[in-house]
């Protein structure tokens, strides 16, 4: 049966070298902005947006939270930088690299693969380059962002990593619906 089915044109890879810092605080604050700039070299992204310079960047997670993304080896130094920049100011900065699992989904059918698993609107006018959408994939929470068209990064809790890996591969193998 499976040879009869055309699978989705998208490649799924696990990315184990990605480092992540959860940073909570006053996103509009001057010190907060300079802490993000100093740690990952970008401005604090607007609501539901991401900002990236190469492999370093920041993702808007909630009105008081951003997820900083950077090479894993650079996390300790970035935490020290943030601690110094936000000295005396209420904030929380935690290395969550080991708490999360990161996937890259790359290809023209990336939207098809994800839209079958999520209630989110993933049409190009609702989810495009620079956008992040926190949603549900199958039965687990996940964050999706698109660095460029058809290249999606997916983050989930590490304990859900194997489940999501299998879920995404099943969605790829089952082929496109043809909606997007």
Partner 1 sequence: MLTLHCPYCGIDADETELAPGGEAHLRRFGPGSSDDDFESYLFARENPKGVHFERWRHAYGCGKWFHAARCTATLEVFGTYPAQTTEPPQDIRDAISAKRPGWTWRTFA
Question: Which parts of this chain interact with partner 1 (CB under 8 A)?
Answer: 47-48, 61-63, 65, 119-121, 133-136, 141
Q: Which residue, among 124, 143, 147, has the nearest Cα to 133 in the 3D structure?
A: 143
Q: What stretch of H or E contains 162?
A: helix 161-173
Q: Rounded to the nearest 5°, which phi and psi values hold at 44?
A: -65, 125
Which residues, in sequence order, are bridge partners of residue 74?
A: none
At 170, list the tokens: 């099943």
Nearer to partner 1, 17 or 62 (CB): 62
Supply the DSSP symbol for 131: B
Nearer to partner 1, 56 or 60 (CB): 60
Secondary structure of the chain: what % helix, strand, coil (to 5)?
30, 35, 35
Rounded distance between C-alpha atoms, residue 133 and residue 145, angstroms? 6
CB of 164 to partner 1, least distance (A): 14
Nearer to partner 1, 78 or 132 (CB): 132
Nearer to partner 1, 78 or 160 (CB): 160
Q: What stretch of H or E contains 143?
A: strand 140-148
Rounded distance between C-alpha atoms, residue 178 and residue 180, angstroms? 6
Rounded distance between C-alpha atoms, residue 110 and residue 172, angstroms? 9
């Amino acid at each position: 049966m499976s040879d009869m089915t055309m699978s989705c044109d998208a490649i799924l890879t696990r990315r184990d070298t990605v480092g992540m810092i959860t940073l909570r605080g006053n996103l509009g604050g001057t010190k907060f902005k300079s802490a993000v700039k100093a740690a990952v070299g970008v401005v604090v992204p607007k609501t539901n947006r991401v900002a990236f310079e190469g492999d370093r960047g920041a993702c808007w997670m909630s009105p008081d939270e951003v997820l900083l993304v950077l090479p894993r080896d650079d996390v300790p130094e970035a935490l020290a930088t943030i601690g110094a920049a936000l000295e005396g100011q209420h904030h929380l900065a935690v290395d969550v690299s080991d708490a999360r699992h990161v996937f890259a989904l790359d290809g023209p059918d990336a939207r098809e693969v994800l839209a079958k698993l999520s209630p989110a609107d993933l049409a190009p006018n609702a989810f495009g380059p620079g956008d992040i959408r926190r949603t549900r994939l199958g039965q687990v929470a996940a964050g999706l962002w698109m660095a460029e068209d058809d290249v999606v990064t997916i983050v989930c809790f590490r304990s859900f990593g194997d489940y999501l890996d299998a879920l995404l591969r099943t969605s790829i193998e089952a082929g496109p619906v043809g909606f997007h």
